[in-house]
Chains A and B, each alone.
Chain A
Amino acid sequence: GAVVSQHPSRVICKSGTSVKIECRSLDFQATTMFWYRQFPKKSLMLMATSNEGSKATYEQGVEKDKFLINHASLTLSTLTVTSAHPEDSSFYICSARDSQGSFGGGYTFGSGTRLTVV
C-alpha cells in the first residue's frame, strides 16, 4: 500500500531556532500534501494544504511566515517551523493524497513528528 515516510519522528530544539520536517511519498505521487498539528488527546487540526509546484494554502490563524511549507516535487514536502518557541511544541503530521487512490484520491498519513521546543 501507499507509504508516507515522515522524519524526524522526534526533535528537540532550542527556542529561536528553526526545524525542518520532511514527508516523502515512497511509492506514489503526492499531488496534494496536508500538514496537521495535533495537541494531546485532541483531533487533527489542518494547518495548510499544498499542491506540487504551488504555494501552500494556509488555514485561518496559521502564520505562514512561521510555518513554511515547500512542495517542490511530487514525492517530497517539507514543513519548516521558523524561530520556534515553546508554544510551537506539538505533534505534527503530514498526509499525502494521490490521484490514483480509492474514491478519487486516498489519503496516507505520515507517522508524525513530536516537536519539543525548550
Chain B
Amino acid sequence: QQQVKQSPQSLIVQKGGISIINCAYENTAFDYFPWYQQFPGKGPALLIAIRPDVSEKKEGRFTISFNKSAKQFSLHIMDSQPGDSATYFCAARGTSGSRLTFGEGTQLTVNP
C-alpha cells in the first residue's frame, strides 16, 4: 500500500514535444505529491508539487494533473527541451509520517 508505481521507465521526446509521465498509488492517506528532477551525479530537485484537493497545478512548462478517484497523477512537460533530459521521480507523503515514497523513476531524453 506504500508503493508508488511510475511509468514509463524511459521516454524519448523530440524538442518542442510534450513529455508525459504517470504515477499511481494505493494509499489514500497520501497528502502531498511532489515531482523531482535529477541530473546524473546530483541530488533530486523539486520541480512541482500538488495537494490531493487540487486537480491541476501549473508552473511554467510543468503541469501536474491529479485524479483523486483514480489515485493517479501525472507530470506534463510542455515544449520539451534538451536541457530537460534527466531522470524524473514522482513521490508521495503519507499523513502518518513524514517520509516520502518514491516512484521508480523515468529517464527522459529530449532529442534536439
Contact = CB atoms under 8 A, between A and B. Distances in A.
Interface residues of A, number: 26
Interface in A47-77: 49
B74 interface: no
B46 A97 contact: no
A108 B44 CA distance: 8
A112 B42 contact: yes
Given A41-B107, A42-B105, A103-B51, A49 B99 contact: yes
Interface residues of B, number: 21
A97 B49 CA distance: 15
Given A6-B43, A103-B32, A43 B104 contact: yes
B98 A111 contact: no
Would you call the interface of chain A mostly helix, strand, loop, or mixed? strand
A41 B40 CA distance: 9
Contacts of B98: 32, 49, 97, 105
A111 B43 contact: yes
Contacts of B44: 44, 93, 109
Contacts of A34: 99-100
A4 B46 CA distance: 13
Interface of A: 4, 6, 32, 34, 41-44, 46, 49, 91, 93, 95, 97, 102-112, 114
